[in-house]
Structure 1
Amino acid sequence: MEFIWTMVLILTFTKIAGDLSVRVGQPAVLGKLIVGILLGPAVLGWIQEGAIINQLSEIGVLLLMFIAGLETDLEQLKKNWKSALAVAVGGIILPFAGGYGAAVAFGLSPQFALFFGLLFCATSVSISVQTLKEMNRINSREGTTILGAAVVDDVLVVVLLAVMMSVLGAGDVSLGMLIGKKILFFVLIIAAGWFVVPRIMKLLAPLKVTEAVISAALIVCFAFAYFAESMGVAGIIGAFAAGIAISQTSFKHEVEMKLEPIAYAVFVPVFFVSIGLNVSFEGVGSQLLFIAIITVVAIVTKLLGGGLGARLTGFSNRASLAIGSGMVSRGEVALIIASAGLQTGLLMQDYFTSVVIMIIMTTLVTPPMLKLSFRPNAKEEAQQHE
């Protein structure tokens, strides 16, 4: 029964905190993230990490990205692929240099510093997606560029991680095999989205059972996510691709209308809270300066790198700032990489908590930064729509 009480706490406090955030002019997601820190081990200790929380959280982030895929304008995404590529590359080069430089400045060896650089490259747009949805900007040119850049970023970071593990002897990874798997993943996922998904939906939708359409959509979502993970790509990319595939069918609106209540009533709030549960302030007193420096470097380098990529491909200064802001959050992607680094010896145990706090801080600042950068500017709005 303890788990049931945990759900009562999560659902009650995320809704209250989300409402308070909106009342003070911030996206609701910011309040929900803060709730995770307050209720978790870092402050009150009312909620602890556990297998069930982690699994519900994983479903939450998959559904969040699946809904983002459903709502994505594919034509807009195709139109902005050059910008997405430039944003992803800019959002890797500067953070890598910044992370490496900061680690060296604090006396870490080049091997550990290289991993810090890689950690700074990670991007998770699940929080940005929720913020963009709240602001009704998910289908804007900036929104689709952020989503496209996140897909490219994920692939590049995984390849870089494999290269690092091979070079530093932290893992037995064949680079050719890894890149081959990524190419195969995208070929198969595009083919499945184009040819298989519409047939699956048409086959399962008429079944004389309750909610056949939404069940069929969830089968596609989870199957794509599982396939992505098995091919070394983040599951959220698979879920996003599944959403795009179903958005091209006649079932799009029915799936969207019925899935959002399921996702936002239970699973997505658990995901937001689970991020805060990773925070712990034990033993960080001696590393406060280190945490402050790496957090600032992580935010600034991603903001400038992603923003510069957008600016070079024709976006206005304000739009570039918005895109850079959307790429700042490291989220669950960086947490996964940090855990992998800890297991393989590329990240020292002494710095793990500091890294987790940095990741959480980048996630917390993303919603307000996006809100600020998307504040209406009449002149630029007119230019964008000309």
Structure 2
Amino acid sequence: MSHSGTLVLIMAIAVLAPLLAYGVSRWLPVPLVIFEILLGILVGPDVLGWARSGGVIDTLSQLGLAMLIFLAGYEIRFDRVRGDTLRRSVWAWITALALGLALGVLLAHGGGFGKGVYIGTALTSTALGTILPVLRDAGDLGTRFGTVMMAFGSVGEFGPIVAMALLLSGRAPAASAATLIAFAVLTALAVLWAMRPKPPWFSRVIAKTLHSSGQFAVRLVVFMLVVMLGLTEVLGLDVLLGAFAAGMVTRLVLQGAAPESSGLVLSKVEAMGFGFLVPVFFVVTGIEFDLDSLLGGGRELLLLPLFLLLFLVVRGLPIWVLAPRDLVRRDRAALVLFGSTALPLVVAITTLGTEDGVLGAGEAAALVGAAMVSVLVFPLLALKCRARPGEALPRGERAGEESW
């Protein structure tokens, strides 16, 4: 099929997936991304053979990956998660990284430290974007539990991206650290600029062009994303880091310069991302999913349940040990299950690993498959842990609640 035909098929899947998710939701809350990947597998070369990636499709997929990480950076609010809970979440992730790297190198099967880093960092991630709607629907976002989950989840999204930039740059550790510090300084300067008061005309232009062809704010957002991506390319860092930093800086710019318009601007950016680019990325992930290698009955098929278990061991065990002491046992269990839920960053990390020729297609498929199962199973189990007898869902425990 031609690239244009493949793109038509991808967008047809993008339209069908939310319909399926909505239809199934009355029985089981299945995340939209699961349908996008599964339908991509269905039309891909290993099943129906209707679609193949390449050319412009790959370019759009990479833009979708950048937009996905950008939006993840935008939704994280470190200013509202602080104190002892933040320290515990950082140490839990550092412990998970050490454990993940050790196990990753063991599972690399002769692939060396590079393959171990891809596997190990994937095991430390948390799908905060997937968890947030579940917490919101359960009435937990404003509770003590929700605050703790936000802290652990935020670090679970931010940490793996920094680790990838530091460990996979190809430089010596000292040079990698120096480059990362240089990027951090430049990002800090961008943050300082974002936090400075903007002239009155700035917010007026944003408001005036929101419903016109000018769309100044949306163009500014895209410009900041492209600048940060270009900066990471110049410094030889991973594009994920630039996209993530762009998301954090953009939040500060919009909420500082035009707080009354920031919500509408974000909705427009999300429409561009989740309406077009991000679905392309996930459907292409399904098209490139090596189902034959996974189902071949060999090592890769055995790796899928092993990786699922390792999500709980590598990410969940440190969370259980370092969770705030005021959480009761069932809440600590729910925190472990939510924190071990992974998919978007796993897809991103395995995509980079296969493109670099370090991670095998079968191993990447096993990791992504395990992450898909975690998204389907772990949040439901977490909600059951949180529910009290006689309650379908927890409805808030505000005693001892931290400020966000």
Distance 1:187 1:381, change over 3 A: farther
State the superposition RMSD in angstroms. Answer: 3.3
Letter in 1 for 2:118: L
Alignment-derived partner of residue 303 in structure 2? 294
Match runs of 1:1-386 below 5 Å: 2-22=2-22, 23=24, 24-25=27-28, 26-79=30-83, 80-103=85-108, 108-109=109-110, 112=111, 114-123=113-122, 128-135=127-134, 137=136, 140-141=146-147, 142-161=149-168, 173-196=171-194, 206=205, 210-248=214-252, 249-251=256-258, 252-282=262-292, 288-315=297-324, 316-326=332-342, 330-342=346-358, 352-375=360-383, 377-379=386-388, 382-383=396-397, 386=400
Q: Which moved more, 1:29-38 or 1:64-73?
A: 64-73
Distance 1:229 1:203, change over 3 A: farther
Query: 1:129-174: per-residue Cα shift (whole Å, max 9, x none)?
Result: 4423543659643244323233222323443345xxxxxxxx6x33
Distance 1:56 1:223, change over 3 A: same
* Mapped contact 1:302–1:327 kept (Cα < 8 A): no
Partner Cα distance (1:94, 1:293) in 2: 20
Q: Residue 94 of structure 2: SS of its match in structure 1? A: helix
Distance 1:365 1:131, change over 3 A: same
Q: Residue 135 of structure 1: SS of its match in structure 2? A: helix
Partner Cα distance (1:71, 1:290) in 2: 37
TM-score (norm 1): 0.80
Alignment-derived partner of residue 165 in structure 1? none
1:115 offset after TM fit, Å?
4.2
Query: 1:111-131: per-residue Cα shift (whole Å, max 9, x none)?
Result: x35444323112399992442
Distance 1:58 1:115, change over 3 A: closer
1:91 offset after TM fit, Å?
2.9
Query: 1:302-328: per-residue Cα shift (whole Å, max 9, x none)?
Result: 322212222233252211221122379
Partner Cα distance (2:73, 2:112) in 1: 35
Query: 1:230-251: per-residue Cα shift (whole Å, max 9, x none)?
Result: 3344323322322222222244
In structure 1, list runs of 5 or more residues that go unmatched.
163-170
Letter in 2 for 1:195: W
* Mapped contact 2:319–2:336 kept (Cα < 8 A): yes
Letter in 2 for 1:325: T
* Mapped contact 1:322–1:370 kept (Cα < 8 A): yes
Q: Which moved more, 1:262-271 or 1:199-208?
A: 199-208
* Mapped contact 1:303–1:328 kept (Cα < 8 A): no
Distance 1:332 1:293, change over 3 A: same
* Mapped contact 1:29–1:127 kept (Cα < 8 A): no
Distance 1:375 1:47, change over 3 A: same
Distance 1:190 1:370, change over 3 A: farther
* Mapped contact 2:92–2:319 kept (Cα < 8 A): yes
Query: 1:74-101: per-residue Cα shift (whole Å, max 9, x none)?
Result: 3234455424422432332333333333
Distance 1:133 1:33, change over 3 A: farther
Distance 1:329 1:239, change over 3 A: closer
How many pairs does the alignment contain? Answer: 362
Letter in 2 for 1:356: A
Q: Residue 326 of structure 1: SS of its match in structure 2? A: coil
Partner Cα distance (1:66, 1:288) in 2: 37
Partner Cα distance (1:122, 1:358) in 2: 15
Q: Percent same amino acid among aligned pairs?
A: 20
Partner Cα distance (1:309, 1:303) in 2: 9
In structure 2, list runs of 5 or more residues that go unmatched.
325-331, 389-393
Partner Cα distance (1:85, 1:210) in 2: 42
Partner Cα distance (2:287, 2:218) in 1: 31
Distance 1:21 1:190, change over 3 A: same
* Mapped contact 2:354–2:361 kept (Cα < 8 A): no
* Mapped contact 2:89–2:152 kept (Cα < 8 A): yes
Distance 1:159 1:237, change over 3 A: closer
Q: Residue 302 of structure 1: SS of its match in structure 2? A: helix
Q: Residue 288 of structure 1: SS of its match in structure 2? A: coil
1:291 offset after TM fit, Å?
0.7
TM-score (norm 2): 0.77
Q: Residue 122 of structure 1: SS of its match in structure 2? A: helix
Q: Which moved more, 1:188-197 or 1:121-130?
A: 121-130
Partner Cα distance (1:223, 1:201) in 2: 22
